[in-house]
């Protein structure tokens, strides 16, 4: 089975490291070694490799339903402590029981199905307090760009739509706000106000990974601990604590020489894209404005931007 090389996609790589940054913040809530990370590692298990390097004592479980990818994971196993499970996530979720053990889940989907919201809602009701859940969904508004497809969208997702009678927008940012609102409604349905626990968002992003993707990370916590959770994340540059508009990840394609040339200008306190554009002295996109926007993205995420280099094995 062919599988996208997610470990070689720069925007996806930044999104992965945004999860790492979120995990660094929850270290302030307690011992990170008491957590177990559950993810859809894919054939290369890249997120597990990174987590093992940075948090070597965290528990790790990979969930994979495809038999051939599961076999390939055995070849790419980054460490002996990673548990590989050959199982559908819905079956795994049925077996996963609520315990005092804290969890970090990345529901890293490549599509957009109502079953993804159902799994998210079921998981919210099972994890221990102070657990983290990240969900990633396909976010291409052209998937539902005509009347029949819009009708299909409403029929599929009406249970979690803010307005079930409204067609999904064809504009990307409006469509992203819709998806985020649907996750918010799903969380409220799973954890209604009368329950002692709630779901606090901590970040949300969108990026192109062959198609547009949306990703949101949050903490399941006691309502009495909300102020503490928000305080932990409020100083993070990339936090989203109020269901605000998701932030874009859109790294420019720069050569290693260009990156090194720009490095001594970073970090920039303000107008970073303009400053870096002047430093280069030429455009790298269709216009000066687009170049400045791209270089602002590089300034924002340069610490997380991967280097891909040619090597002879």
Q: Which long-range contacts (CB under 8 A, 24 or more apart) does 221-225 make?
A: 221/129, 221/130, 221/197, 222/129, 222/196, 222/197, 222/198, 223/196, 223/197, 223/198, 224/196, 225/129, 225/130
Q: What is the pLDDT of residue 313?
A: 65
Q: What is the pLDDT of residue 73?
A: 97
CA angle centred on 107, ends 111 and 211, rounded to 5°: 35
Q: For strand 102-108 and strand 247-249, is the pairing parallel, antiparallel, or unpaired?
A: unpaired
Torsions phi, psi of 115, nearest 5? -60, -25
d(CA 166, CA 163): 6
Using alpha carbons, select from 67, 69, 133, 120 the residue that is nearest to residue 90: 120
Per-residue pLDDT, averaged over 238-245, amounts to 97
pTM confidence score: 0.94
Confidence class of residue 22 from pLDDT cuts 50, 70 and 90?
very high
Confidence class of residue 7 from pLDDT cuts 50, 70 and 90?
very low
Q: Is the pLDDT of residue 2 over 80?
A: no
Q: What is the pLDDT of residue 1?
A: 47
Q: What is the pLDDT of residue 153?
A: 97
Beta bridge partners of 35: 102
Q: What is the pLDDT of residue 269?
A: 83
**pLDDT tens digit string along 167-221?**
999 999 999 999 999 999 999 999 999 999 999 999 999 999 889 999 999 999 9
CA gyration radius, the chain: 20
Q: What is the pLDDT of residue 45?
A: 97
d(CA 221, CA 103): 12
Per-residue pLDDT, averaged over 54-79, amounts to 96
Q: Residue 233: CB partners within 8 Å, gap ≥ 6?
A: 22, 25, 202, 203, 239, 241
Q: Is the pLDDT of residue 5 over 80?
A: no
d(CA 91, CA 170): 35
Burial class from Cβ neighbours inside 10 Å (0-12, 13-18, 19+) for residue 308 reads exposed
Structural domains of the chain sorted by starting position, each given as residue range(s) with its CATH number in brackets: 6-249 (3.40.50.150), 256-304 (no CATH)
**pLDDT tens digit string along 121-169?**
999 999 999 999 999 999 999 999 999 999 999 999 999 999 999 999 9
**pLDDT tens digit string along 253-280?**
999 999 999 999 999 888 999 999 999 9
Cβ 141 vs Cβ 150: under 8 Å: no
Percent of all residues in the chain with a pLDDT value above 90, rounded to a whole number: 89
d(CA 130, CA 8): 31
Q: What is the pLDDT of residue 114?
A: 98
Percent of all residues in the chain with a pLDDT value above 70, rounded to a whole number: 96
d(CA 265, CA 134): 33
Per-residue pLDDT, averaged over 272-298, amounts to 95
Confidence class of residue 307 from pLDDT cuts 50, 70 and 90?
confident
């Amino acid at each position: 089975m062919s599988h996208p090389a997610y470990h070689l996609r720069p925007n996806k790589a930044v999104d992965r490291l945004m999860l790492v940054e979120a995990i660094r913040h929850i270290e302030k809530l307690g011992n990170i070694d008491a957590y177990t990370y559950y993810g859809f590692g894919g054939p290369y298990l890249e997120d597990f490799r990174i987590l093992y390097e940075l948090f070597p004592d965290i528990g790790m479980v990979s969930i994979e339903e495809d038999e051939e990818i599961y076999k390939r994971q055995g070849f790419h196993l980054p460490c002996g402590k990673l548990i590989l499970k050959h199982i559908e996530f819905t079956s795994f979720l049925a077996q996963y029981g609520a315990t005092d053990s804290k969890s970090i889940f990345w529901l890293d989907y490549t599509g957009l199905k109502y079953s993804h919201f159902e799994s998210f809602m079921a998981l919210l009701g099972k994890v221990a307090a102070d657990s983290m859940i990240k969900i990633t969904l396909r976010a291409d508004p052209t998937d539902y760009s005509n009347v029949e497809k819009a009708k299909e969208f409403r029929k599929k997702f009406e249970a979690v739509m803010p307005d079930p009678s409204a067609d999904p927008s064809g504009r990307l940012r409006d469509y992203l706000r819709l998806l985020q609102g649907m996750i918010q409604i799903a969380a409220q349905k799973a954890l209604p106000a009368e329950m002692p626990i709630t779901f606090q968002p901590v970040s949300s992003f969108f990026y192109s990974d062959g198609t547009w993707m949306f990703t949101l990370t949050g903490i399941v916590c006691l309502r009495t601990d909300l102020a503490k959770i928000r305080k932990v994340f409020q100083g993070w540059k990339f936090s989203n604590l109020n269901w605000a508009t998701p932030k874009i990840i859109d790294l420019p394609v720069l050569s290693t020489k260009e990156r090194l040339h720009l490095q001594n200008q970073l970090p920039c306190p303000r107008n970073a894209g303009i400053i870096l554009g002047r430093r280069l002295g030429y455009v790298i996109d269709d216009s000066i404005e687009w170049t400045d926007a791209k270089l602002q993205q590089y300034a924002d995420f340069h610490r997380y931007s991967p280097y891909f280099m040619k090597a002879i094995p």
